[in-house]
């Protein structure tokens, strides 16, 4: 039986790259992209696309039936910084979209579901260093509350309705292909763009704020890896810790200066500092390593070199 995959939120930072990777792997016509708006030209021209409001269960069911979808990747969400400005809108999108997808699994209309959680599930009372898989979780942001609630519902639907839902807690993600979408870790993408365009960057976090980060290629690799693992190997049905590297803005600035010696950075913390302060500085992902063989490929040096190389290339092509 042929596999047909639906990506919900395909035009976002993760969704765009995930869609293109899955199309390369399974064939363009087998991966249906959807979002509430159209995406970039590459994504739109590479395969089927549907306008979809993730909170509209009827529209979602129509697409599932029409394309005979067997797997869903639910990437639609309002991220941390934006969600603080629009709390009820964020709760509605983040939670109702998840219920719509989980209910499709409960009704056996789809076989497998991926839903991303985040380090935002942790809070100020969580152990900061090597945050364990199972620990105190008292999120202090709308985004974190919705993700923690989502984790509990995922495990509930697995235990009570045998829904094959899989999840990982993404750290901050870094990519040159798409701009970030309103998260607290966005500085780690913006800084590379500003370094090349202006030679300076005004950071919205303090210079010594250590946060877990990951290059996008690793995040996509982990997503495919957990979805391709045998069901019996997925022992955590809430969400897996996932780690690659941890650094502070000062570290990334010094790393950039190795490539652009004249680069300068200033610091002007805003409301996102309080969000960052509530999150861990490093993550223990030993369960993911043991259960389905997770291992990151990118450290900060490799990330910086890759980001600057590709952004320079893009800039040269645009000119």
What positions carry a catalytic annotation? 143
User: Residues near 143 by Cβ (< 8 Å), separated by ≥ 6?
Assistant: 77, 78, 79, 80, 83, 84, 90, 94, 118, 120
- Exposure string for 271-294, b = 16+ CB within 10 A, e = fewer: ebbebbbbbbbbbbbebbbebbeb
Token code pair at residue 79:
């991220």
| 20: its two tokens | 């293109």
- Work out whether the CA dihedral 252, 254, 269, 315 comes out positive or negative: negative
Task: Tell me the C-alpha to C-alpha distance, in Å, between residue 270 and each of 75, 206, 230.
Answer: 27, 9, 44
d(CA 121, CA 126): 10
Q: Are 210 and 119 in contact (CB under 8 A)?
A: no
> What are the φ/ψ torsions at residue 163 (nearest 5 degrees)?
-85, 125
């Amino acid at each position: 039986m042929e596999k047909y995959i639906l990506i919900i939120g395909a035009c976002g930072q993760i969704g765009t790259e995930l869609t293109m990777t899955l199309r390369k792997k399974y064939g363009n016509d087998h991966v249906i992209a959807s979002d509430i708006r159209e995406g970039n030209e590459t994504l739109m021209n590479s395969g089927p696309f549907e306008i979809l409001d993730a909170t509209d269960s009827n529209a979602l069911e129509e697409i599932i039936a029409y394309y005979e979808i067997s797997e869903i990747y639910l990437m639609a969400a309002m991220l941390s910084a934006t969600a603080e400005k629009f709390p009820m809108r964020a709760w509605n999108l983040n939670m109702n979209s998840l219920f719509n997808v989980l209910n499709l699994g409960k009704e056996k209309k789809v076989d497998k579901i991926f839903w991303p959680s985040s380090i935002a599930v942790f809070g100020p009372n969580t152990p900061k260093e090597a945050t364990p898989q199972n620990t105190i979780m008292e999120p202090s942001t709308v985004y974190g509350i919705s993700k923690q609630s989502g984790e509990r519902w995922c495990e509930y639907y697995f235990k009570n309705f045998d829904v094959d839902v899989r999840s990982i807690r993404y750290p901050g993600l870094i990519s040159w292909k798409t701009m970030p979408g309103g998260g607290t870790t966005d500085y780690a993408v913006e800084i590379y763009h500003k370094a090349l365009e202006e030679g300076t960057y005004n950071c919205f976090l303090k210079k010594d704020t250590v946060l877990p980060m990951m290059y996008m290629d690793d995040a996509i690799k982990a997503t495919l890896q957990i979805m391709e693992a045998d069901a019996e190997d997925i022992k955590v049905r809430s969400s897996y810790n996932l780690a690659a590297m941890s650094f502070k803005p000062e570290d990334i600035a010094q790393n950039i200066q190795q490539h652009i010696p004249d680069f300068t950075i200033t610091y002007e913390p805003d409301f996102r500092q309080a969000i960052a302060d509530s999150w861990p500085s490093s993550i223990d992902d030993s369960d993911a390593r043991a259960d389905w063989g997770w291992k990151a490929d990118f450290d900060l040096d490799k990330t910086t070199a890759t980001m600057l190389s590709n952004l320079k290339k893009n800039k040269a092509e645009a000119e």
